[in-house]
Homo-oligomer: A and B are copies of this chain.
Amino acid sequence: MNIEPNLCRVEDALEIIVGKWKPIILLHLLKNGTMRFSDLKRSIPNITQKMLTKNLRELENEDIIERFVYPQVPPKVEYSITEYGKELEPLLHAMHKWGVKHALHKQQYKFI
Copy number of this protein in the oligomer? 2
Q: How far is the CB of A67 from chain B (nearest CB, A)?
A: 15
In the assembled complex, which residues on chain B have CB atoms less than 8 Å from the CB atom of A88? 98
Segment touching B, from A23-31, A49-57, A70-78: A23-31
- How many chain A residues sit at the interface, stated as a range, is 35 or more
Docked Cα-Cα span, A31 to B6, in Å, equals: 12
A8 within 8 A of B: yes
Q: How far is the CB of A99 from chain B (nearest CB, A)?
A: 3
The chain B residue with its CB closest to the CB of A2 is: B31
Please, what's the 1-or-0 string for A77-92, where 1 marks a CB less than 8 Å from any CB in chain B? 0000000100110111
15 A-B residue pairs with Cβ-Cβ distance under 8 Å, sorted by A, are A3-B92, A3-B93, A5-B43, A8-B99, A9-B96, A9-B98, A9-B100, A11-B99, A12-B102, A12-B103, A13-B98, A14-B17, A63-B106, A84-B109, A91-B94
